[in-house]
Amino acid sequence: MAEMSSAELARTDVGSWFSRTHPHLARREYSKESVPTLAQVFTILNPAKARKPTVYIELKIDKGQEYSLLVESVAELISNQKLFGQTVVISFNLKAVAFVHEVNPSIRTGALFEPRRNAHRVVRRHPMIKAALDCGASEILFHRLLATHRKIDATSEANLFPVVWTVDDPKWIERAQTYGIHAIMTNHPAKMSTQRENTILKQTTPC
């Protein structure tokens, strides 16, 4: 997939795969679905609508890979569609994150981090927070194994928005509220959304 062009991806049938993998959700019209371009995804984000979803755009960049053209094209799309308030460009490559900020400071960015060796020592010393600040990010995205209460507090104190990925356990809904987590990313949005609604209902129901 990584070596395919945009035109090749646009001809790839992903709907049939989805229907085979999730037969209980299958629909005939899904067989016509292909991988959308970022510009096509942006067509569903209407800035005029009252409810404005936020889209996280991850720049997937291999080590040593040239990224300036990718950053510039993504930044141009966001600027042309005036979607500064609805998009956050994120990456593990912090040089690319810094370049996004250089190309257009109005674009919100986030620094991605994953667990590595000696993760507990890393969490205590907070080098990830410094790295996120140094590249101009406004959000810091921790893998769930890194998202301790102390880490989230330190992130907020540094005026960064804490985000946690990939969260599939519904218990994270209440944990997000307790810790002050800005957003969570999940493979199961429907299940997590239901848990969030149930949590809100429980909190607002009089005893």
pLDDT in tens, the chain (207 residues): 677 888 888 888 889 988 999 899 899 888 888 888 999 999 888 666 667 789 999 999 998 899 999 999 999 999 999 999 999 999 999 999 999 999 999 999 999 999 975 444 444 457 999 999 999 999 999 999 999 999 999 999 999 999 999 999 999 999 999 999 999 999 998 889 888 888 876 666 555
Instruction: Determine contact, residues 23/11, Cβ cutoff 8 Å.
Output: no
| Domain CATH code at residue 134 | 3.20.20.190
Hey, CA dihedral for 96, 94, 38, 160, is it positive or negative?
negative
The region that residue 53 occupies, defined by phi over 0 for left and psi between -120 and 50 for alpha, beta otherwise, is: beta
Q: Domain of 9?
A: 1-35
Residues 148 and 168 occupy one common structural domain: yes
Do 27 and 59 belong to one domain? no
DSSP string, 74-92: HHHHHHHHT-TTTEEEEES
pLDDT of residue 190: 87
Nearest partner of 33 among 52, 51, 18, judged by Cα: 18
- Structural domain total, the chain: 2
Q: Are residues 28 and 49 in the same domain?
A: no
**Residue 111 and residue 93 share a domain:** yes
The pTM score is 0.87
107 and 163 within one domain = yes
Confirm if 10 and 35 have CB atoms less than 8 A apart: yes
Residues 3 and 84 in one domain: no
- At residue 107, what are phi and psi to the nearest 5 degrees? -85, 125
Do both 26 and 115 map to the same domain? no
- Both 12 and 73 in one domain: the answer is no
Q: Are residues 86 and 149 in the same domain?
A: yes
pLDDT score for 3: 79
**Are 31 and 105 found together in one domain?**
no
Residues 72 and 170 in one domain: yes
Would you state the structure tokens that stand for residue 52, as one six-digit string? 């404005």
User: Do residue 14 and residue 98 come from a single domain?
Assistant: no
